[in-house]
């Protein structure tokens, strides 16, 4: 009788920093013996792969994965975390635990959003119902193919969400990041028209700044 197969889960997110759109968290479960297949098809950190190639790899990853799971955290939920005194890293830990509890791996490898990896791991464990080995690391998406695979799933899904928002409102919104001029233009327009605000993280500094500037402008006009 052979050794028991080890099931390895990679977890990563896309869209933590943007002011527009959801945070997307993905988990991908693999047989440990299949991880070499991910290396063979060129899986790595999604940030190092062009969009078209990410979509091609996604289809291959789905064939190799035993299961995968996606959680989308919309801007309203992100903003509401303040009312329960939860920061974004803690919110991620809670969602990561949901994926681990659902996919039940032997080992979970996590791209940790904070330099305090031990503190993050201890917090995450509070929400675990499934017992497994945890590896919480910075840059895990670069160092572990299973996490690279999860990062590709999350990034492709996040890009789809942005396209979906653009289709709904009938104009481009950019990548959703505060550094993108198209995104800033969209946020300013949304604030002035009071439309599409459900797609914007109102607790973000970017939105708060735009709100303050508009309020000061109104006062000076008065």
- Report the C-alpha gap between 192 and 184 in whole angstroms: 12
Fold assignment, 170-221: Arc Repressor Mutant, subunit A (1.10.10)
Task: State both tokens at 158.
Answer: 């996040």
Give 120's contacts (C-beta < 8 A, 6+ positions apart).
Answer: 89, 93, 112, 113, 114, 136
Topology agreement, domain 7-166 and domain 170-221: no
Spatial distance between the Cα atoms of 219 and 214, rounded to a whole number of angstroms: 9
Rounded CA gap, 182 and 175, in Å?
Answer: 8
What pLDDT, on the 0 to 100 scale, is given for residue 216? 79
Integer Cα distance of 202 and 220 in angstroms: 24
pLDDT of residue 81: 86
pLDDT for the residue numbered 4? 84
**Residues 9, 77: Cα–Cα separation, whole Å:** 25
Contact 101, 93 (CB under 8 A): no
Domain boundaries, the chain: 7-166, 170-221
CATH number for the segment(s) 7-166:
3.30.420.10
Alpha-carbon gap, residue 180 to 114, rounded angstroms: 24
Low-confidence residues of the chain, pLDDT below 70? 1-3, 218-222
- Tell me the C-alpha distance between 85 and 63, whole Å: 40
Tokens of 111: 């791209």
Residues 55-109 pLDDT 10s: 999 999 999 999 999 999 999 999 998 777 789 999 999 999 999 999 999 999 9
CA angle 26, 27, 31 (to 5 degrees): 150
- Tell me what pLDDT residue 99 has: 98
Give the CA dihedral 138, 109, 69, 114, nearest 10 degrees.
-30
Closest CA to 120 of 132, 111, 130, 131: 111
Look at residue 218 in the predicted model and tell me its pLDDT: 66
């Amino acid at each position: 009788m052979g050794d028991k197969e080890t099931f390895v889960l990679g977890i990563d997110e896309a869209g933590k920093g943007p002011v527009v759109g959801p945070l997307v968290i993905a988990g991908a479960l693999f047989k440990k013996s299949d991880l070499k297949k991910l290396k063979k098809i060129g899986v790595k950190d999604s940030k190092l792969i062009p969009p078209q190639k990410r979509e091609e790899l996604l289809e291959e990853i789905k064939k190799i994965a035993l299961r995968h799971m996606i959680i989308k955290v919309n801007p309203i939920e992100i903003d509401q975390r303040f009312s329960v005194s939860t920061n974004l890293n803690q919110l991620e830990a809670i969602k990561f635990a949901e994926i681990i509890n659902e996919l039940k791996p032997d080992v979970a490898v996590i791209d940790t959003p904070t330099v305090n990896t031990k503190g993050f791991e201890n917090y995450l464990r509070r929400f675990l119902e499934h017992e497994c080995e945890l590896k919480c690391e910075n840059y895990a998406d670069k160092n572990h193919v299973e996490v690279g695979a999860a990062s590709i799933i999350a990034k492709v899904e996040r890009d789809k969400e942005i396209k979906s928002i653009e289709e709904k409102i009938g104009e481009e919104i950019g990548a959703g990041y505060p550094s993108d001029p198209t995104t800033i233009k969209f946020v300013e327009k949304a604030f002035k028209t009071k439309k599409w605000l459900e797609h914007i993280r109102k607790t973000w500094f970017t939105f708060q700044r735009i709100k303050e500037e508009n309020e000061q402008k109104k006062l000076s006009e008065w």
